[in-house]
Amino acid sequence: MSRIFPVLRTSCFHNPTVIFSSPTPNIYTTTKCSLNIPKEKKKRKKTNQNNSGKVSPTTVDIDMNWRQSLGQRFNWGGIVEVLGGGGGAETGRLAIPHLSVPDIRWIDWKELERLGFRGVVFDKDNTLTAPYSLSLWPILSHSLRQCQLAFPGRVAIFSNSAGLYEYDPDGSHAKALEESIGGVHVIRHGIKKPAGSAEDIEKYFGCAASHVIMVGDRHFTDIIYGNQNGLLTILTEPLSLSQEPFIIQQVRKLENYLVTRWHQQGLKPPNHSLLQENMQCIKAPDL
């Protein structure tokens, strides 16, 4: 672990003239708060009802929500996938996206459809919405609409929060997200990215994973998952860092540091049969 600390202090700077770029994360600190509930109020909390008769969350509910939020954002699987593999060349290739853009407005959806792709699957948090939000990031609405026009009925979300059985067992979060965004299906699945196969994605789209595009903001989750399952991978910069815990900020810095180093070593993502020239799928966003 002592070798990681110098890495975490290394910053990566964004160069707007380079397509493969690493954003500089903004650091936000969080503090752990304890709820000192007087003894006479504890019993009232357990009844899940306050003086006004309104239902209020129990201590158990608060603890469950805290663990769920931490579990969604701090993905040990992604870290183990990289560090457990020794951070070697094969791991580096899987963590490097085929395309890297500031946000989805820079993606030429019509061109991707012309090349033979048959569907698009998005990560949710910090790709389409702010963390924990159900609302589409406002400036992305036009681009998402263009994506839906290019891939009618073939746009979905594959998230480690909404639709994941561990944190959304009854699918209520997934349904609420579908109703909020509109026209985008949330794929239900049981294993957090980057682990797991693309079976659920292939079943929904009715085609091989190699004909589907994976769009997300995390190297260690979205990009590794997509590359090891044969999808075209597109990395976006995170939309908002204000609600991410400090430790997640550090993991992002580690991701950016390692990927920058792998780029400098000349590593490239796995070849994709449908993508001949990545610049042809990137365009300046519509104003």
Given this model, what pLDDT does residue 159 score? Answer: 95
Confidence at residue 286, expressed as pLDDT on a 0 to 100 scale = 77
**Domain CATH code at residue 152:** 3.40.50.1000
| CB 100, CB 21: distance < 8 Å | yes
Q: What is the pLDDT of residue 270?
A: 94
Asked whether residue 104 is assigned to any structural domain, the reply reads yes
What is the pTM assigned to this prediction?
A: 0.74
pLDDT at 229: 97
Where residue 156 falls (left for φ over 0; alpha for ψ -120 to 50; beta otherwise) is beta
Query: With a cut of 50, which residues of the chain have pLDDT below it?
Result: 1-67
Q: Tell me, what's the pLDDT at 61? A: 37
pLDDT for 50 equals: 44
d(CA 188, CA 35): 34
Q: Are 246 and 28 in contact (CB under 8 A)?
A: yes
Count each helix (H run) and each strand (E run) in the chain, helices first. Answer: 11, 6
Tokens 């400036």 -> residue: 139
Residue 218 belongs to a domain: yes
Q: Torsions phi, psi of 173, nearest 5?
A: -65, -40
In a domain, 51, yes or no: no
Residue 262 falls inside a structural domain:
yes
Residue 170 lies in domain: 36-46+57-281
pLDDT of residue 55: 37
Query: Looking at the domain assignment, is residue 115 inside a domain?
Result: yes
Q: How many domains does the chain have?
A: 1
